[in-house]
Amino acid sequence: MTTEVTMDKIVSLCRRRGFVFPASEIYGGMGSSYDYGHYGVLLKDNVKARWLEAMVRERDDIVALDSSIILNPRVWEASGHVGGFSDPLVDCRTCKQRFRADHLADPEHEDVRCGKRPSKRPGETSDCDLTEPRQFNLMFRTRVGAVEATGTDVYLRPETAQGIFVNFKNVAQLARRKPPFGIAQVGKAFRNEITPGNFIFRTLEFEQMEMEFFVPPSEADEWYRYWVAERLAWHVRYGIREESLRVRPHEADELSHYSSGTSDIEYLFPIGWSELEGIANRGDFDLTQHTAASGTKLEWVDSGSGERFVPHVIEPALGVNRSMLAFLVDAYEEEVVGERERTVLRLHPQLAPVKAAVLPLIAKDGAMVERARSLYEELRRSASVEYDDSGAIGRRYRRQDEIGTPWAFTIDEQTTVDGTVTVRDRDSLAQERIPLENVTSWLAGRLVEPWSAPPRH
């Protein structure tokens, strides 16, 4: 029987095993803000590392960048965020809830529920007292300057892309790249969302993995199709089941005014099909806007032929938090093994927070503990591993299953006799014995082998 994965189950596991906590919890929390515990940090770091590998390390046409979170406010004026980065807002004077007007217009939208009990759609009862729609800017504003009265209004960036665009000239000159080439960035972004929610799916503060790929105008459509396929393959490569993914091209009335084509890679979350990653053909809008506003020409000039043009831009953009959630949902499974229930995260080994656990069978056996500690110290020099001698061995296996650890090495009586250890596989539960001195090379080899998610039980 296939496991029904609900958001409540994912939230419970994340809390129970220390992946994600509500922020400021001892003070009652902060809406749609979360802190990441040890395993959450490791999982997020692995997601970012795999993205950077695919974008930068495995290619020679993309370079990395880390731009400032706080930019000159004129950047956001030129990009259109100050004047246009807003959503229509409707308030209910009765329940004090706030809704997006476009969500109210959608009779099937799940985020639209009245704050009073029994919860109904806003506007359906005589108690509802809705305001007219008002524009609500999504950027967080703050001030730079020691004295409030003389400070300057600035914004926390709502996306990382603009930091890439304003650095186009620097990177093109210093990185010695010519179109087609890309600039990749991982970094924090902030959006004052009207209707945040659904755990870490949509939060006020999040991390983005964005890449801007600058191409000759005549090649834009070809590269747009290329990056849709390339990004879909990346999600499958790291364990997302193909049947849980789909590509949805935007209709003409959905497109941003600067986009000639945008596609969402959607994932079947517990809340339904929702955007996981967006790939957009942004044309030359961004470089042209910043050229006009700054007075600096952001164009490509071939020093040999003298050819010059403003590149068009293909942008794959993915949220780290949302990507992490998709990997957790797709990996989550419940099954019965030996008449006992088991919860397991079948994460790709290269994403798993812990790659292997080292377990002495008997925690009070000095010989076993000595060999187990020695093996742990050896393995931790090259991989994220965990030592655990607390509780019965079955309970320790279950703990590792719930955080997604692919393999467990158990030191037992036979180890002290012939120098072999038991290796337990998380997914198949198969066990084999290998020489103790081969464990490090065995683990290194398994971590680079191709892997795909096993069929759901």
Query: pLDDT digits over 221-254, tens only?
Result: 999 999 999 999 999 999 999 999 999 999 988 8
* Chain position carrying tokens 């109210």: 104
- What is the rounded distance in angstroms from the CA atom of residue 73 to the CA atom of residue 231? 32
What is the rounded average pLDDT for all residues in the chain? 90
Q: Quick one: fold of 7-69+153-328? A: BirA Bifunctional Protein; domain 2 (3.30.930)
Residue 386: pLDDT band (50, 70, 90) is: very high
**3-state class (DSSP) for residue 45:** helix
CB 189 within 8 A of CB 206: yes
The residues that bridge with 426 in the sheet, in sequence order, are none
**Tens-place pLDDT, residues 173-206:** 888 888 999 999 999 999 987 666 689 999 999 9
Range of lowest pLDDT (19-33, 55-69, 107-121, 258-272): 107-121
The whole-number pLDDT of residue 334 equals: 94
Tokens found for residue 369: 């503990």
pLDDT at 236: 96
Q: Is the pLDDT of residue 319 over 90?
A: yes
Q: Mean pLDDT across the stretch 115-139? A: 70
Looking at domain 354-447, which of 3.30.70.100, 3.30.230.10, 3.50.30.10, 3.40.50.800 is its CATH number? 3.40.50.800
Domain range annotation of the chain = 7-69+153-328, 354-447
Structure-model confidence comparison of residues 373 and 82, the more confident one: 373
The pair of structure tokens assigned to 124 is: 């359906």
CA atoms within 13 A on the CB side of 312: 18
Tabulate helix, strand, coil % of the chain (nearest 5). Answer: 35, 30, 35
Across the strands, what pairs with 279? 263, 316
Considering only 73-77, 172-176, 206-210, 364-368, which range has the smallest mean pLDDT?
A: 172-176
Confidence band, pLDDT 50/70/90 cuts, at residue 85: low
Pairing mode, strands 356-360 and 407-411:
parallel
pLDDT score of 163 more than 80: yes
Q: Is the pLDDT of residue 1 over 60?
A: no
